[in-house]
Structure 1
């Protein structure tokens, strides 16, 4: 669905660039949308969300980008999301870089702030989901919720053969919740358990 989003968005439009970057980061970073996007444009709604200055390249491996989440559902002191390169055009690192270049704002701005003719505008979760669902509806997909990004990213990584322990760590999953949200077990089982030698 990320590719459908990529094809349906107008990537010459600053808001659509922000939408695509947020979608790629949420999906590949296995994020809850509430960890990235405010529910409203009120400054208080963005208080515990990442800003542009909370993005960094790893000091140990330049092939990973880290976004510090100031607060998450399970960690009041925050956690880091680690993004690694993926196939174009849905690479979260490239989408994020494209967004930051197209939407130049102050480093203390909310991460997915975009530029309009009247000034900077914070991308909210409702506006983000509205735009995503507009694109997906045209492509024949049913209405989708924000939680689909976290679940979808987790499932995609597992289906690609990434070790469940790595997926769990990258997604900042607690042990019980991680298994609750696994999708496509009939597809995952052969990847990780077929022809195990005894």
Structure 2
């Protein structure tokens, strides 16, 4: 029997649709507190109640509230809120509101405060570098066009990665001068009231969504699934692949910063503010329903 052929440690052939492989588990950073929450949710589903439901003091070590575990205050609040919801929906006594937990959170807030968002804005100038690097870091011309289209749409549409990856072909209306994208549901639109984004043609074709969508449509396979952003084998792009190509393009130009998929949204909001666009308009363009947009503007 011939020996098995070794694959690249991080990437596989685009013909398999994925285009990338996650590194081995030993190389991936573990998230113990997040895994703990998942385990508790599984226990709740299978057994009907969390194992610590009668012991509120156990919540602190389980989710790393002591400051020596490095838990951010906002992260602790998020996980405790999730646990509170689990208790209530199961009709279990909500120990997350106990004196011990509240005091632990207060102490954590005093010692750490609310940490600043570490993500670096991906502004237009950086987007130009990222797109220019894609032909060099992608495995095929098709993939370069695919991710150029994805990244330009994410930036100009202030799109969350979950929104841009779930765009369907039927959601896009295109002309030579603008593209309209229907967002059927989003983080701030849980009831599916829908929002339509209108993105005008940009003077620089390197980062123009209209230019890239037109080009991608000429290459996109026929009779493909409903999702718009697909590989050549008709499989959809994943969040991991989106971030992987972003990091490869950033590294290609040795750009310093903590860039993540949300950096497109932060960068566009920052650029709009620098251009003098009113806060009220930025809020509408980004589909924010609170003052949270102010945290995205880095001047």
TM range (shorter): 0.7 to 0.9
RMSD value, Cα: 2.1
2-side partners of 1:146 and 1:168: how far apart? 19
2:176 is the counterpart of 1:51: no
Which residue in 1 is equivalent to 2:122? none
TM-score (normalised: structure 2): 0.51
Residues 1-198 of structure 1 aligned to structure 2 (within 5 Å)? 1-10=126-135, 13-37=141-165, 49-57=166-174, 63-76=177-190, 77=192, 78-88=194-204, 89-106=206-223, 108-115=225-232, 119-141=233-255, 142-184=257-299
Shift of 1:143: 4.4
Q: Which runs of 5+ in 1 are unaligned?
A: 38-48, 185-198
Between the aligned partners of 1:97 and 1:162, the Cα distance in structure 2 is 28
Q: Deviations over 1:12-65 (max 9, x none)?
A: 61112111111111111001111112xxxxxxxxxxx2211111148xxx7432
Whole-Å Cα distance in 2 between the matches of residues 82 and 164 of structure 1?
A: 18
Q: Which has the higher strand share?
A: 1
Q: Which has more helix, going by share of residues?
A: 2
User: Which whole-Å deviations, capped at 9, do the CAs of 1:102-159 have from their partners, x for residues lacking one?
Assistant: 22344752121131xxx21211121111011111112112341111011111111222
Higher relative contact order (CA 8 A, sep 6+): 1
Distance 1:155 1:83, change over 3 A: same
CA gap 1:131/1:162 in 2 versus in 1, 3 angstroms: same
| Higher Rg of the two aligned structures | 2
In structure 2, the CA distance between the partners of 1:98 and 1:161, relative to structure 1 (3 Å rule), is farther
Secondary structure, aligned partner of 1:114: coil
Partners of 1:33 and 1:146 within 8 A in 2: yes
Query: Structure 1 residues 75-84 or 28-37, which shifts more?
Result: 75-84
Q: CA deviation at 1:91?
A: 0.9
Residues in 2 aligned to 1:159 and 1:64: alpha-carbon distance in whole angstroms: 23
Per the TM alignment, residue 3 of structure 1 is displaced from its structure 2 partner at its CA by 0.9
SS in structure 1 at match of 2:180: strand
Return the alpha-carbon distance in structure 2 between the equivalents of residues 57 and 163 of structure 1: 27
Q: Contact 2:242/2:261 (CA < 8 Å) preserved in 1?
A: no
Aligned residues: 167
